[in-house]
Amino acid sequence: MKKRIIILGSTGSIGTQTLDVISQYPDRFAVVGLSTLGQGEIFLRQIETFSPAVVAVSDEETAAAVRARADLHRTALLTGPDAMTQMIAEWECDLVVAATSGSAGLCPTLEAIRRGRNIALANKETLVKAGQLVMGLARERGVHILPIDSEHNAIFQCMAGQRIEDVRRILITCSGGPFLNHTREQMERATVADALAHPRWRMGPKITIDSATLMNKGLEVIEGHHLFGLDIDRIDVIIHPESIVHSMVEFVDGSVLAQMGPTDMRLPILNCLAWPERLASTMEPLDLCEVGRLTFREPDEERFPALGYAREAARRGGTLPAVLNAANEVAVRSFLDERISFGEIARVIRRVMDSHQTIANPTLEQIEQSDQEARRRAEEYALAR
């Protein structure tokens, strides 16, 4: 029996790599549904190659470009802002890969959990914004949330067969990004091209900038807190420029388990698609002798204030993590559009956080309202620069 898969966000970096993995195991996986937020050309090729039963396209322009090809392949076409949620509600599948970037994936992911579908989660916002709601619902419905993010996938693998009460702390590794050895002044003046030149991972522009500010690690700390049900104070970040150890778990007896592998997102993707099995892969194996040495050091929270802001948001909880995330999205976009400097990203986030009145145990509506308000404020502060 093939595992039936729906991919939310199939044209992004994780989406295309997921399809790349799937195409190598035609007898194991079947693509039921795909969705895009507006990448017509790539999407047309995906429909051609995988002939999914259904596709969801939120914007009308892309939908018009896709319609004829979908008809040709007898693929149902859903359009409009709720297309992804409708696809999840109306089509059967065994696994939903949540790989949209930004907030669009939250509603369809919640719908998938309500329907008892396991989730391979690549979208950080889902847990950062609504971690309590998402994990609460997943527990209630007996749904497994399988993390694609390489660090959480590593922790997930180290945790297999272990008890959470035996964990002393988790150590999330961090490559350090392009500015690991830059001074504060150099970082302040960094250009968009500097910040996009990530030394280890090839990723989309938003997450690459987040890797330069270390906000990506901050968001991962919040993600880990929800995924594994651990206090923020038991989640540490450790700089590991070689990106070979993808994260570690330290147990109460002092044992530390680490997961290692080549720096290739297709590995955690394959791990999630195949779970609870493992499938043989043709990926280049890890050659530790060639790597030679693995180094570790502590992160510098003064040069990378985003890390501390994320911890603070997670500790205070409620709507604050959603606010942090929203302010960060606007600040990163403003930097990419060359409206603010690199150093301003963290300052915009700080100001938005300081102006927010945190609501404890928020509803989804309150989370969305706080998110919108934070975006407005961040735009305002970015414009004032």
Residues within the interface to Mg ion (CB under 5 A):
149-151
Does a cis peptide bond (omega within 30 degrees of 0) precede residue 276? yes
CA-based nearest residue to 115, from 87, 75, 148, 83: 87
b/e map 223-237, b = 16+ CB within 10 Å: bbbbbbebebeebeb
CB of 376 to Mg ion, least distance (A): 29
124 or 377: CB nearest Mg ion: 124
How far apart, in whole angstroms, are the C-alpha atoms of residue 34 and residue 84?
A: 9
53 or 269: CB nearest Mg ion: 269
85 or 211: CB nearest Mg ion: 211
CB of 221 to Mg ion, least distance (A): 11
| Residue 104 DSSP code | G
What is the strand order of the sheet 235-239 is part of? 235-239, 167-174, 245-251, 256-260
How far apart, in whole angstroms, are the C-alpha atoms of residue 272 and residue 283?
A: 16
Residue ranges of alpha helices (H) inside the chain are 13-23, 40-50, 60-72, 83-90, 106-114, 124-141, 150-159, 184-188, 192-196, 205-213, 215-228, 266-274, 288-291, 305-316, 320-336, 342-354, 364-383
CB of 220 to Mg ion, least distance (A): 6
Looking at beta carbons, which residue is closest to Mg ion? Answer: 149
CB of 86 to Mg ion, least distance (A): 30
149 or 368: CB nearest Mg ion: 149
Q: Do 218 and 304 meet the contact criterion of CB atoms below 8 Å apart?
A: no
CB of 153 to Mg ion, least distance (A): 9
211 or 370: CB nearest Mg ion: 211
133 or 148: CB nearest Mg ion: 148
CB of 303 to Mg ion, least distance (A): 20
Q: Do 30 and 95 meet the contact criterion of CB atoms below 8 Å apart?
A: no
Structure tokens at 216: 């990506």
CB of 265 to Mg ion, least distance (A): 9
How far apart, in whole angstroms, are the C-alpha atoms of residue 301 and residue 173?
A: 15
147 or 318: CB nearest Mg ion: 147
Q: Do 323 and 313 meet the contact criterion of CB atoms below 8 Å apart?
A: yes
